[in-house]
């Protein structure tokens, strides 16, 4: 499909094939008639009627106003608006791909998280202050040169204090199921920067894959994600700057845990060896004493075989047949003397 379109400021573009679509619109690849530059065109689908068409136009108009407000602010990671028309707008074309689930290791997930924190910080702290409100892997683009960019500002909101249009509403219910924060489903709690922080945590949790090699880093990263996705807004991080600092400390904290556990294992092994040595020395001492006694007894008994019964009686405290202790008690004295020289 090739179709020529003209923006309000008179610039002409040629629309080509569809490269993406959502519930209310489609995105087409295109090029500028003037210089052949590649562009992307987002246009409402022609299937909407009645209230659905009105809502789709309102959302597209809000998206165009946000991109217009951010166009000259130097916000990185946001596509630049090139022109607007009736039910469509033209933006710069970002060549790359979106992210899928469970495709990044812990270190790459941290890199993605810090890049998203930088983009969200620019949106939250700039003028106007913008809430993105639909962060998920399929809305994050990885450019060919490695840059990270957010696409689809259809549910974004401008915070109060900006006078250009009436986009500063905070209509609840925006976002994507499985990623949206609890406050986006309605209720008394309004959307805020902590809503984007919740979405950031859910996005990082979706792209990270379990890796035993990075187990310690994964554990630290999970702690950050758990705080980001706490159902209580007050328990989440206060800003994306704080989230970025926590992400950057994951590797350092993991290294500390590794060193602590390694030191514990070494100390435990040393204590085990020392205990084994002490136990062995104790039992070897006892065995040596018993062996010495038995050796002396056997030696004396063998050399004095004719007096075995008598000397055995001396040893065990028995008397001879005439009721007297046998003469020559030197065997008993030698045994006592020998036992006195043995350490127990």
Q: Tokens 């519930």, residue?
A: 23
Q: How confident is the model at residue 189 (pLDDT cuts 50, 70, 90)?
A: low
Residues in the chain: 344
Distance of CA 293 to the CA centre of its chain: 66
Is residue 340 very low, low, confident or very high in pLDDT (cuts 50, 70, 90)? very low
| The pLDDT of residue 211 | 75
Check residue 82 and give its pLDDT.
Answer: 94
Distance CA 183, CA 299 (A): 93
> Which one is predicted more confidently, 284 or 193?
193
- 64/302: higher pLDDT: 64
- The answer to whether residue 264 scores a pLDDT higher than 70 is yes
> What is d(CA 265, CA 259) in angstroms, rounded to the nearest whole number?
10
pLDDT band of 285, cuts 50, 70, 90: low
pLDDT at 7: 95
Average pLDDT for 268-275: 81
Band of pLDDT at residue 53, cut at 50, 70 and 90: confident
* pLDDT for res 255: 85
Q: What's the token pair of residue 121?
A: 């910080």
- Round to whole Å and give the CA distance between 205 and 101: 9
pLDDT of residue 331: 46
Angle at 80 between CA 76 and CA 83, to 5 degrees: 170
Global confidence as pTM: 0.74
User: What gap in Å lies between CA 230 and CA 219, rounded to an integer?
Assistant: 17
Most confident of 20-29, 96-105, 267-276: 96-105
Task: Decide: 224 and 243 in contact? Cβ < 8 Å.
Answer: yes
* Percent of the chain residues past pLDDT 90, beyond the cut: 47
Extended beta strands in the chain, E state: 3-6, 12-21, 25-32, 38-44, 81-85, 88-92, 96-98, 130-131, 140-143, 148-150, 157-158
pLDDT at 4 over 50: yes
DSSP label at residue 327: S
Which residues are 88's β-sheet partners? 43, 85
Mean pLDDT of 55-76: 87
Average pLDDT, the chain: 81
Question: For the segment 108-142, what is each residue's pLDDT rounded down to a tens digit?
Answer: 999 999 999 999 999 999 888 999 999 999 999 99
Q: How far apart are CA 78 and CA 233, in angstroms?
A: 26
Q: What's the pLDDT at 9?
A: 93
More reliable by pLDDT, 255 or 10: 10
Model pLDDT for residues 15-33, shown as the tens digit of each residue: 999 998 877 889 999 999 9
């Amino acid at each position: 499909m090739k179709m020529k379109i003209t923006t309000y400021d008179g610039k002409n573009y040629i629309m080509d094939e569809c490269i993406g679509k959502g519930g209310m619109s489609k995105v087409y690849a295109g090029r500028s008639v003037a210089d052949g530059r590649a562009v992307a065109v987002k246009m409402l689908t022609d299937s909407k009627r009645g209230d659905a068409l009105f809502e789709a136009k309102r959302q597209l108009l809000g998206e165009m106003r946000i991109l217009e407000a951010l166009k000259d602010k130097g916000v990185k990671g946001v596509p630049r608006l090139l022109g607007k028309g009736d039910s469509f707008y033209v933006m710069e074309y970002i060549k790359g791909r979106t992210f899928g689930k469970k495709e990044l290791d812990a270190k790459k997930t941290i890199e993605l998280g810090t890049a998203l924190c930088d983009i969200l910080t620019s949106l939250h702290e700039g003028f106007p202050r913008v809430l993105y409100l639909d962060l998920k892997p399929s809305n994050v683009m990885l450019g060919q040169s490695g840059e990270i960019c957010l696409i689809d500002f259809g549910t974004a909101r401008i915070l109060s204090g900006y006078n250009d249009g009436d986009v500063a509403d905070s209509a609840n219910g925006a976002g994507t199921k499985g990623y949206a924060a609890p406050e986006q489903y309605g209720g008394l709690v309004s959307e805020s920067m902590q809503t984007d922080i919740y979405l950031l945590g859910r996005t990082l949790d979706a792209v990270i894959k379990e890796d035993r090699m990075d187990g310690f880093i994964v554990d630290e990263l999970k702690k950050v994600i758990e705080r980001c996705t706490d159902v209580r807004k007050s328990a989440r991080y206060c800003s994306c700057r704080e989230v970025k600092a926590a992400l950057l400390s994951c590797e350092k904290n993991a290294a500390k845990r590794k060193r602590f556990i390694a030191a514990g294992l070494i100390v435990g092994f040393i204590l085990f060896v020392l205990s084994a040595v002490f136990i062995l020395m104790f039992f070897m001492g006892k065995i040596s004493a018993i062996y010495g006694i038995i050796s002396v007894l056997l030696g004396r008994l063998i050399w004095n075989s004719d007096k075995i019964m008598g000397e055995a009686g001396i040893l065990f405290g028995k008397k001879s047949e005439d009721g007297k202790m046998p003469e020559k008690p030197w065997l008993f004295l030698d045994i006592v003397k020998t036992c006195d020289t043995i350490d127990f």
